[in-house]
Amino acid sequence: MAVKYVKNIICGGSVLLMASCTETPVSKENAFVENLLSQMTIDEKLGQMNQVAWGDWCDMAKKGQIGSVLNITNINDIREMQRCAVEESRLGIPVLVARDVIHGYKTIFPIPLGQAATFNPEIVEKGARVSAIEASSEGIRWTFSPMVDISRDPRWGRIAESFGEDQYLSSVLGSAMVRGYQGDDLTDPTSIAACVKHFVGYGAAEGGRDYNSTYITENSLRNVYLKPFQSAAQEGALTYMTSFNDNDGIPCSANKKILKDILRKEWGFDGVVVSDWASIGEMVPHGFAHDNKEAGMQAINAGVDMEMVSGSYVAYGKELLAEKKIDIKSIDEAVRNILRVKYRLGLFENPYFENNPEILYAPEHLDAAKQAAIEGTILLKNERNVLPLDRNKVKTLAIIGPLADAPYEQMGTWVFDGEKERSVTPLTAISQMLNVSADKMDGQYKFNVVNNYSNSNKVSGTTNVIFEPGLAYSRDKNKSGIPAAVSAARRADAVVVFVGEESILSGEAHSLADISLQGAQKELIDALATTGKDIIMVVMAGRPLTIGDQIDKSAAVLYSFHPGTMGGPALAEIIFGEAVPSGKTPVTFPKMVGQIPLYYNHNMTGRPASRTETLLNEIPVEAGQTSLGCTSFYLDAGFDPLYPFGYGLSYTTFEIGAPKTDATEYNMNGVITASCVITNTGNMEATEVLQLYIRDLVGSVTRPVKELKAFERVTLKPGETKEVTFSLPVSELAFWDADMKYGVEKGDFLLWINNSSLPSESAAFKVK
């Protein structure tokens, strides 16, 4: 128990009486924080602003030199460090324990990009709740998630950690994640503080190269990049992290405009801003500060409350104060923010945690992870309804590819705590599904059986499973295993090949200039295609890959952004039709890297391309300079992507009627009621994601060709019809204009309701 704080937390204690205490929670919080602040020395204040990742934690905690730690993993160390802080430091201020819990702690959910493909905020919220429950049971009360960086460049490895290219989808899902982490009551021991990152624009790194500079104009900063950050602030996110990049010459850890004017003043944020790892010190190599001291000064003056690991605040804070380069008011404000967050998390009253090993990998956590992986899997192609496979008809199944049995790789990037031994691979899950159906009915999947499988035939029930990976891992260039894979395919009547990326190929610092399949995976698909069999290609990756050729050679394609611990069972259920795919692309898939950046909600050029453009191979020799239409397209790639945003097929078919609006004119304060009729015209119950897009036809600044404004998952039985209605307040059509004023402009709009961002019939309306 935090004995020292009893006097401070009880309203009416001697010190608090002087701090005008009343019963309202906010003033109680303020009184508490002000009282504590008034007792702190400069060193203790700077200590609170210090986040460390190594060192003698207990000693530092006793001396009040740390406000937060990250990456302590041993629960006994956490407990001891907290005991030192709470029971042996002068003021007993608890330490906030942080960790990157990005898409699961032990039970690993699909990477955020895969969660985005669900278009389901409930799934995302549930995943974050599970993460919080598991992480807090080992003493973690702060995670550096969600990452809501708009990501329009699949070369950027961190696209894996994002919700994709769209600001509305990222806002809805980012807020859902914040809710999941923080729970209903912040003081609940299972609530952990969210950290919305990276503030801001990090996803726009030039050339998709991580840590690179960005050049985001204020128009797109406000209309695109800031949107999900603002929505997370409205959701009550407790903390934000500054990003590594400099935008238009200003490193984000020294950007007063975004940190003070926008985050604090415009959005009213009163939580903690933490720097990214050494991003304050890195202002020196950026060429923005001469040394760490100057970098620390810039960050404090810009409003970065806590410094992650670079130590300049504790090293130079006092000197900077003495030299009047920083102000005590800035220090006090930072410390207030930090104490406030600790107070809100109930850390002063309850600094310790109940270790609960049973909660890790709890069956309901695994079920939630499996459901997320099912809903996040996208069916990109399904010729002749090759999928789902009928387990009663498949006599011999060939399972091929380096990702079929790669328990570590399927977890994806940013997995510090998940254990590959607990991952269920597709090979394991399919084998269990076919051989041991009783296990499946219990909902229990056997673990640790992954390595029991050798490359031998498995015979049981009616299906013979042959496993021939062909390649040992995704970058493997050794083709010696390919003939055996081809032979397996020839002997089988169904061929499923699992390809993609190892987890290390995406995530932080893992950008790629070539985003096609690595190693000899293309050759593997080419060789399998020579068998004439229907190839079912399953891709597990951290980004959209340029796989047009391999898609052409496959009869069916499932895309599963690294699906996590339960990826195998999820894919097994989809492949055998126990679950129906409903995932949608949260990013545009380019045909080739040269098309990047390629995103659906771009502004229209003055010379939009049409489908009649002459492509490279059709151009006559010695064609005249002006003979090609003079529009905006690539001679070799046209202008279409491989797959557009919001795209994904189902095992059933849906018919979606033309959208209707309840009026053709709306006032500024009106609400647009838009509806459409959707029918399941196939023969399986399934879920479709209806997406509502609008276009503002003429603006005082050019507007995107389409903007997602709402979406809904609709589940229909075969033959069932539903009218689905969306209510869209006219205020949702607002944008920042050239003078950075936010509002709706009068004029004409188009509205679509469809199951992707592809063209469909529109409804027109006016705002007057």
| Smallest distance, ligand NOJ to C-beta of residue 507, A | 10
Check 153, 276, 417, 696 and give the catalytic one.
Answer: 276
Q: Are strands 671-680 and 686-696 parallel, antiparallel or unpaired?
A: unpaired
For residue 729, is the peptide bond before it cis, meaning its omega torsion is within 30 degrees of 0?
A: no
Closest CB to ligand NOJ among residues 510, 709? 510
CB 379 within 8 A of CB 558: yes
Closest CB to ligand NOJ among residues 414, 693? 414
> Length of the chain in residues, anyone?
768
Q: Is 657 left (phi over 0), alpha (psi -120 to 50) or beta?
A: beta
| Smallest distance, ligand NOJ to C-beta of residue 71, A | 7
Closest CB to ligand NOJ among residues 274, 575? 274
| Smallest distance, ligand NOJ to C-beta of residue 147, A | 7
| Smallest distance, ligand NOJ to C-beta of residue 94, A | 20
| Smallest distance, ligand NOJ to C-beta of residue 158, A | 8
Distance CA 133, CA 192 (A): 8
End-to-end Cα, the chain, rounded Å: 61
Closest CB to ligand NOJ among residues 508, 737? 508
| Smallest distance, ligand NOJ to C-beta of residue 197, A | 6
Q: CA 127, 132, 138, 143: dihedral to nearest 10 degrees? A: 110
CA distances from 671 to 167, 429, 711, 729, 737 (A): 21, 48, 16, 4, 22
Closest CB to ligand NOJ among residues 5, 277? 277
| SS (HEC) of 186-197 | CCCCCCCECEEE
Which residue sits closest to ligand NOJ, CB atoms considered? 144
Closest CB to ligand NOJ among residues 436, 504? 504
Residues ≥6 apart with Cβ < 8 Å to 422: 106, 107, 361, 447, 565
Closest CB to ligand NOJ among residues 95, 430? 95
| Smallest distance, ligand NOJ to C-beta of residue 198, A | 6
Q: For the chain, state the CA radius of gyration.
A: 27
What's the token pair of residue 264?
Answer: 């604090």
CB 644 within 8 A of CB 585: yes
Contact residues for ligand NOJ, defined by CB under 6 A: 100, 144, 197, 276-277, 508
Distance CA 388, CA 385 (A): 7
H or E stretch at 751: strand 747-754
The reply to whether 327 belongs to the active site is no
Residues ≥6 apart with Cβ < 8 Å to 488: 398, 400, 466, 467, 468, 495
Closest CB to ligand NOJ among residues 245, 337? 245
What's the token pair of residue 230?
Answer: 């603002």
| Smallest distance, ligand NOJ to C-beta of residue 276, A | 5
CA distances from 763 to 661, 735, 753 (A): 7, 21, 9
Distance CA 565, CA 754 (A): 32
Helix, strand, coil percent content, the chain, rounded in steps of 5: 35, 20, 45
Query: By three-state DSSP, how is residue 46 classified?
Result: helix
| Smallest distance, ligand NOJ to C-beta of residue 509, A | 9
| Smallest distance, ligand NOJ to C-beta of residue 178, A | 15
Q: Is 678 left (phi over 0), alpha (psi -120 to 50) or beta?
A: beta
Task: List the 463-468 sheet strands across, edge first.
Answer: 378-382, 556-561, 535-541, 494-500, 396-400, 463-468, 458-460
Closest CB to ligand NOJ among residues 310, 675? 310
Distance CA 652, CA 518 (A): 33
Distance CA 746, CA 730 (A): 10
Task: List the 307-308 sheet strands across, edge first.
Answer: 142-143, 96-99, 68-70, 50-52, 307-308
**DSSP letter at 603?**
B
Closest CB to ligand NOJ among residues 197, 344? 197
Distance CA 118, CA 97 (A): 31
Annotate 8-17 with b (16+ C-beta within 10 A) or e (fewer): bbeeebebbe
Closest CB to ligand NOJ among residues 155, 391? 155
| Smallest distance, ligand NOJ to C-beta of residue 679, A | 44
Task: List the 272-274 sheet strands across, edge first.
Answer: 195-199, 239-242, 272-274
- 722 burial level (CB within 10 Å; 0-12, 13-18, 19+): middle
Closest CB to ligand NOJ among residues 48, 51? 51
| Smallest distance, ligand NOJ to C-beta of residue 130, A | 19
Distance CA 472, CA 78 (A): 39
Closest CB to ligand NOJ among residues 197, 709? 197
| Smallest distance, ligand NOJ to C-beta of residue 102, A | 8
Distance CA 240, CA 151 (A): 18
Q: How many Cα atoms within 13 Å fall on the side-chain side of residue 192? A: 35
Which are the catalytic amino acids? 276
